Every structure is written in C-alpha cells, then in structure tokens.
Structure 1
Amino acid sequence: MEKETLSPADTDRIIEMAWEDRTPFEAITYQFGLSEQEVISLMRAQLKPGSFKRWRKRVQGRSTKHLKLRAKSVRRFKSSRQRAISGNAIPKSR
C-alpha cells in the first residue's frame, strides 16, 4: 500500500502502532503493506521534529519492535482498543 493511498484513519492507526512498544514493524507491514523504512518516513512526515526524534530514540533500542529480536517469553500483544487484525476498525472518539 502506498503512503498516498492511506486514509487519515489508517495513518493515525499506523502512528499509534509505531508508538506501541510491543507492536512489531512486521505487524504494520502485514496490515498496511508498509516496510519499516516507509513507516519511518511516514512518522518523519507526520510528527513534529522533536516528537520524531523522541520516537526514533525510543524504538532504536527496542527488541520488541522486531519479531526476530524478541525474547521467546514475549507473546503477541493486542491492544484493548484493537479489534480483529484483518478489520482494523477502531472508532475515534471525538
């Protein structure tokens, strides 16, 4: 999926997933078809410079953001706000 075809809701969800510590980049790739580098580019474009730097510093040292680096004891994490992976329908509170 190209970044240009992402809806605002999809963009919000990708940003939310990228901030979550236990959501690996592979899950974002599976749901939205964006590689890790494309997620980084999206985050750079959507976040303020300071927020982007904070996010990059946070995820660079996280083994939980990559499935192959995770400890075996870390199970799949599912946010309480997340519905079925295939649906990805989360109503935004306004």
Structure 2
Amino acid sequence: MPPPVIDVSTESEIIEMALSDHVSFEDIRALHGMGPDEVKALMRSRLRTGSYRAWRKRVRQFSDRRDVYK
C-alpha cells in the first residue's frame, strides 16, 4: 500500500514523530490520521533501506519490552 499523498512539511513531521521513541503510532494517528501500516509504508519509501530496517528493529525491541509502545 503506497503512503498517502501529503505535503512535505507534514511528511517531515510524521517521520520525525515516528523516529522518536516517545511518540506512539496512536499519537500519530490522532494528529495526522495515519495508522501504523501507513506510517511504516511512508518510512519505507522515504528512509534508506538500512535506516528503515534499523528503525523497525528498534520499534520491535521496544514493543517486546513494554506493554505499550508504537
């Protein structure tokens, strides 16, 4: 599923939020209306492959350790 069409400043804000360890997918959904799958698609299309994999690995590791995370 391709990421939705959004303006550059909003896209940058969503990417910054997704990279933050303090912002959950639910927070992103509340502000921008994008679910986890849409955020992941956006990140995959905008980040380099290695950066995307490192981000997903970090998100998975945090979610395994905490009840509530991204």
Fold match by TM threshold 0.5 = yes
Q: Percent identity?
A: 38
Structure with bigger gyration radius = 1
Deviation digits for residues 12-69 of structure 1 (CA, Å, limit 9, x no counterpart): 0000000100101000000110000000000000000011001000111223xx8xx2
Structure with greater helix percent: 2
Structure 1 spans left out of the alignment, 5+ residues = 71-94
How far apart, CA to CA, are the structure 2 residues paired with 1:8 and 1:15? 10
Structure 2 spans left out of the alignment, 5+ residues = none
Name the count of aligned residue pairs.
Answer: 64
- Runs (4+) of structure 1 exceeding 4 A deviation are none
After superposition, where does 1:6-45 map in structure 2 within 5 Å? 6-45=6-45
Give me the CA root mean square deviation. Answer: 1.6
